Structure 1
Amino acid sequence: MVHALSAENPAPDAALPMAATIGDNPVRLWGMTSAERLRRQCVRNGVKEVRAWDGQDHGSSQLLLRTDWVFDEVLVRDLMRRPGTILVDARNREPVAAHVSAADAAAAASMLNNSRVVPDELAGRLRVLVPDDLSSSYNHALRKREAPFLLRLTPEALPRIEQRMFAGSYKGVTDIVTKYVWPLPARHVTKACAVAGMTPNMVTGIGAILMLLALWLFWQGHYLPGLAAGWIMTFLDTVDGKLARVTLTSSKWGNIFDHGIDLVHPPFWWWAWAAGLPAAGFDMPGGMALALTVIWVGYVSQRLQEGYFIKVFKIDMHTWRPFDSFFRLITARRNPNLIILTLATLLGRPDIGMVVVLAWIVLCFGVHMAQIVQAHQAARKGPIQSYLSA
């Protein structure tokens, strides 16, 4: 089973190939057929049209992809930029995709449909690459090192494949809750959302409502109900991003919607928490003025520190060294702060929880300043790079 793809705009390294599909695979991935997944992958990388392979080369190079295999998106993207290439699986050297000239299109399509090996006549004049040769294992966007996946799609293998795809959608450097608590339940909820036809923006919208509900409950001193709403919101914040990645439905607006909410709401939560203490029968130790100063200055400063690091050193602060990735697990972001507030509330002292959060914000500011100073010192010897990309 083969897909071939067509496009009008040039790729960075060469003109985009045309494309077509040969056959289909009835196994559905995250609620969609393999053919639909391939179409979305190619459209995301500039292809304008996906059509059935009709045996005609149309005078253009061809990108051919078998629908009985599941491709990491980076493989499709990089193969699109490498004309004259046949992609084979690493274990059996079975051809699974090709980017070939119009003259070789018919032979390549026949190979992919009928052959378990690359014929000598094609191997002699085309590059034959395995996934690791075609694409890098470092994913800058997700801040992790992970080999691109290429998996045979069968009904029996579907659960394992979807688990692998979901794991591949996760950021490698994130907070402790997102990394260690949410993955298992989030995978099942993401699958349910995909099958139900829910879009990532729908999930984000529900999360936005819960974010506002948590804000109001904190302001009223109703901390346990507020924490419940807040934690569900943070869970859905994981689901919407994973749903977008596994279903290939991310969009510019969705990215702004999701990340805009993530960027804005945390200091308002802490402000509401401090303001709600009198209603719950507590005082804010040190006074509200001090609390608000630490909340706002601390939050804005941390964001500025991270932005400064990226601008000056061209890498994310949290991916420079193993320590930096570890500290991202617990730094004074939303989820680690929620852990502190949850434990304090369960112990009956939400006021002490707020004090601990404020202290943690100040301490983390100091750690990030030390990271910046150390990076400047290291950069004197040459550009610094992430340990994940080494």
Structure 2
Amino acid sequence: MPGSALLARALERAGVGDVAPWNGAAPAGDGPLLLLRADHVYDAALVSGLAKSPGALLCRPEDGLPVAAHLPRADRAVPVAEALEAGRGAEDAAFAGLRPSTPKALTGAYNHALRKRGEAYLLRLAPETRRAVEWRMFGGSYKGVTDFVTKHVWPRPAFHAVRACAALGITPNQVTAASLVLVFAALWWFSQGAWLPGLLAAWAMTFLDTVDGKLARVTLTSTKFGNLFDHLIDLIHPPFWWLAWIVGLGAVGMPLAHPVLVGAVIFGGYVLQRLQEGLFIILFKMQIHIWRPFDSAFRQVIARRNPNLVMLTAATLLGRPDLGILAVAAWTALGCVEQAVVTAQAALARRRGGPLRSWLEG
């Protein structure tokens, strides 16, 4: 995708109208105007921050070179545009009265949506920098607090899958639809005790679940429907996989001694964990896994889909899928206890010191 096309999407998402290439002539009217060099790639949050900051002169953090400006009045457009195109420094007379600003100054260092620290990117786009720019954009689309498979195993293969999808014109919703097919395939195979094909389908689904979100973010094609579609699938399917696994054990002659009890612990524990997380947000205005470093670390292994699949895969390879589902039940119960303890600790901390703040905010 040309950098200018990506920039146009970012401007549209920031609520900026009348986006057009610079033609060298002063625009009609004297209202506010944004000028941005199209040979750079801008974090969408950075474009939004610039649009909300009249008088800002956006400079590259590595050398201070101005690359974009928000003019309160368009009557200065020609000299400012010429200075930006010529690559003049922030001290040039054309930029007089504008406030030199870094990406961090316009966006902050904490991304609330992705739950991570990190400066918004501003990258020079050229043939020799293309791959580095793509990798930085991909990294910028990743959530900071997630499970260890998503965080440490999927990034490299997902990067290449996202590049391929973007090049082929495959949309995030199409990827999500494919992952939904795999959800049902894994559910069927688990219920039949066909562990290996079921696990292959389940792992493929988790991989596509990583790809669709990253594809939407790097191409700026996310929609409310797509976000809802993806999150509803993520929210609903995991406990049904584990219940199907219990059914499959009976189908292959390995029934649990107390299948109803194990199923109730797994299903009820999953629902309880989600309710606990929602309660924490209501009480403390943040997600439970971003309060302290320990909470973020525990999120990597908590009894969610991917860590549970690791346990089930290991147990299956050892020939004991029954022990795998019992481990999932035990880990789910422990996760509920852990989150209850964290909620109680947060309540005590707030009583002693006021409103809580995430450690990721610095």
Give the TM-score category using the shorter length.
over 0.9
1:172 aligns with 2:144: yes
Structure 2 length as normaliser, TM-score? 0.97
Q: Match for residue 7 of structure 2?
A: 38
1:189-219 Cα distance to aligned partner (Å, 9 max, x none): 1100000000000000111001100000001
**1:27-51 deviations in Å (ceiling 9; x for gaps):** xxxxx11110001001111124322
Residue 186, structure 1, aligned to residue 158, structure 2 = yes
Q: For residues 376 and 347 of structure 1, what CA distance do their matches in structure 2 show?
A: 43
- In 2, Cα distance between the equivalents of 1:195 and 1:345? 37
- Matched residues in 2 for 1:336 and 1:231: separation? 11
Name the one with the larger helix percent: 2
What is aligned with 1:132?
104
**Aligned 8 A contact 2:35 2:68 in 1:** yes
- Corresponding residue for residue 344 of structure 1: 315
Q: Which amino acid aligns with 2:38?
A: T
1:53 match: secondary structure: coil
Alignment-derived partner of residue 19 in structure 2: 50
Verify the 8 A CA contact 2:266 2:328 in the aligned structure 1. no
Conserved 8 A contact 2:4-2:39: no
Check conservation: 1:111, 1:119, Cα contact below 8 A. Answer: no
Provide the C-alpha distance between the structure 2 equivalents of 1:52 and 1:70, rounded to a whole number of angstroms.
15
Greater strand content:
1
Indicate which of 227, 244, 251 corresponds to 1:255.
227
Q: For 1:289, which of 251, 260, 269 is the aligned residue?
A: 260
Task: Say which of 297, 302, 321 aligns to 1:331.
Answer: 302
Residue 137 of structure 1 and its aligned partner are, at CA, apart by: 1.2
Taking the aligned partners of 1:372 and 1:119, their CA distance within structure 2 comes to 52
Question: What code does the residue aligned with 1:308 have?
Answer: L
The answer to whether residue 329 in structure 2 is matched with residue 369 in structure 1 is no
**Where does residue 47 of structure 2 map in the other structure?**
76
Equivalent position SS for 2:359: coil
Native 8 Å contact 1:340 1:357 kept in 2 = yes
For residues 191 and 120 of structure 1, the distance between their equivalents in structure 2, rounded to whole angstroms, comes to 39
- Structure 2 counterparts to residues 314-329 of structure 1, below 5 A: 314-329=285-300
Whole-Å Cα distance in 2 between the matches of residues 249 and 76 of structure 1?
16
1:280 is matched with 252
Distance in 1 between the 2:360 and 2:235 partners?
Answer: 26
Query: In structure 2, what residue type is equivalent to 1:169?
Result: S
Task: Give the equivalent residue in structure 2 for 1:10.
Answer: none
Structure 1 residue 75, shift from structure 2 partner = 1.2
User: How far apart are residue 133 of structure 1 and its match?
Assistant: 2.2
- Structure 2 unaligned regions, length at least 5: none
1:85 matched to 2:60: no
Once the 2 structures are TM-superposed, how far is the Cα of residue 130 of structure 1 from its aligned partner? 1.9
d(CA) in 2 for partners of 1:125, 1:56:
19
Q: What does 1:111-122 align with in structure 2 at a 5 Å threshold?
A: 111-122=83-94
Aligned to 1:388, what secondary structure does the other structure show? helix
% identity of equivalent residues: 53
Match of 1:222 among 164, 180, 194: 194
**1:212 lines up with 2:181 in the alignment:** no
| 1:98-146 deviation line (CA, Å, top 9, x unaligned) | 0102122122111111232135434431111122222201001111001
CA distance in 1: counterparts of 2:292 and 2:309, whole angstroms: 26
Instruction: Render the CA deviation track for 1:333-352: whole Å, top value 9, x for unaligned.
Output: 00000001000011111111
d(CA) in 2 for partners of 1:134, 1:102: 21
Whole-angstrom distance in 1 between the partners of 2:322 and 2:17: 56
Give the distance between the partners of 1:125 and 1:45, measured in 2 at CA. 24
> Conserved in 2, the CA contact under 8 Å of 1:70 and 1:151?
yes
> 2:296 aligned with 1:309, yes or no?
no
- Against the structure 1 CA distance between its residues 115 and 351, is the aligned structure 2 distance closer, same or farther, given a 3 Å change threshold? closer
The one-letter amino acid paired with 2:21 is A
For 2:339, the aligned partner's letter is H
Q: Which amino acid in the other structure matches residue 58 of structure 1?
A: A
8 Å CA contact 2:311, 2:327 repeated in 1: yes
Q: How high is the TM-score relative to the length of structure 1?
A: 0.90
Deviations 1:209-233 (A, max 9, x none): 0110000000111011100000000
Give 1:223-238 correspondences, 5 Å limit.
223-238=195-210
